[in-house]
Chain A
């Protein structure tokens, strides 16, 4: 098994916990399909909610990862599934032949088996599953445009909550977490530990075939490119690292305060879909202040963005009670 982090086989998940005489608690309503190495979606059903494991690791990993992600959003933020209204979770495994990817197609998850040379089975990493389902959460909330800085923010919140799904499943505090996306996904022989690192962007791999992890950690390394929708998987390193710094400064369970602040921004309804890094940074400072007041949380968030070079002292003036005119990082289009 390449990755750890999903519920241990046979472990009793903390959900659902039906209690006689009460309304049943929400369940993930999972359905896993087998793509049979074709490209037709979704493919025949091989496992449904509550049914027993099957003799196919990809099916069971996908099932467990969907459950871990569902439990995370419900327990940490009271969110019922991807859309907040109990959307059933569907996934297709064994998509295509040696397919080196996993994606959210707007309705369901799709997993390839990996080519075995560069990448292994994409169902093996719970943070990848959390990452993809968070694309669904974003689709139903801030709906960040998938290009340029808003696209990098879209990618970053998927990395942030993907990592938090894993940390939550393992009960880890910020200082114990690996902060990696795709830990164990790289095939044997590939020089690297993962696809990305929120703790140390740009250090996840360095390999003759795969190349070198290109992610910047700060605005000094910001990449202006047309590729990858304007570098959405590249410049996401900057907001990723800001989240890591805020979570690390606050300590404890990263999903509780840092994660709550990011979640408030994502789902608060005020972030424009074309938000840039500066607008997002301002929004996190505003959210920290709104939920926790002008304390350690706000300071941690401001310091994190300052360290990565986004809007030095973001939100500092408004702490002192000055007007919106001081918000130099406001988005070009008003929220």
Chain B
């Protein structure tokens, strides 16, 4: 499974993007479960959020893209975003 996160907005206006491939990772089942949860709970359209809040677009394989904005993130969204931005490339 390949998970991509694009983060834009923020007071800096600097975009960040990273993608994580779960193949061969021992924690792949955990990440897959997290990704499925995020896909099913997120909205499919981007929203404008609060001024300078981060916006995230999370794309899982060909299964689709969900959008979320700070500070209204679920724990699952926050965990997945943190993982991909920290360990993805």
Enumerate chain A interface residues (CB-CB to B < 8 A): 39, 41, 100-106, 110, 118-119, 122, 128, 131-132, 135, 138-139, 145-147, 151, 154-155, 158, 182, 195-196, 210-211, 214, 227-229, 232-234
Contacts and interface: CB of A to CB of B under 8 A. Distances in A.
24 contacts: A41-B71, A100-B12, A101-B53, A102-B11, A103-B50, A103-B71, A104-B51, A104-B52, A119-B12, A131-B11, A132-B51, A151-B48, A195-B11, A214-B13, A227-B8, A227-B15, A228-B8, A228-B13, A228-B15, A229-B55, A232-B13, A233-B10, A233-B12, A233-B13
Interface string B13-32: 11100000000000000000
Contact of B51 (A100, A146, A196, A234): A146
Contacts of B8: 227-228
B51 A182 contact: no
B54 interface: yes
B9 A228 contact: yes
The A interface, classified by DSSP as helix, strand, loop or mixed, is mixed
B36 interface: no
Given A39-B71, A39-B73, A110-B71, A101 B48 contact: no
Given A110-B71, A227-B8, A228-B9, A158 B51 contact: yes
A101 B13 CA distance: 10
B10 A135 contact: no
Interface of B: 8-15, 48-55, 70-71, 73, 78
A195 B10 CA distance: 11
The B interface, classified by DSSP as helix, strand, loop or mixed, is loop
A195 B53 CA distance: 16
A271 to B, nearest CB: 17
Contacts of B14: 118, 210-211
A196 B12 CA distance: 8
Contacts of B11: 101-103, 122, 128, 131-132, 182, 195, 233
Contacts of B50: 103-106
A195 B12 contact: yes
A229 B73 contact: no
B13 A234 contact: yes
A119 B52 CA distance: 15
A102 B13 contact: no
A158 B50 CA distance: 14
B81 to A, nearest CB: 11
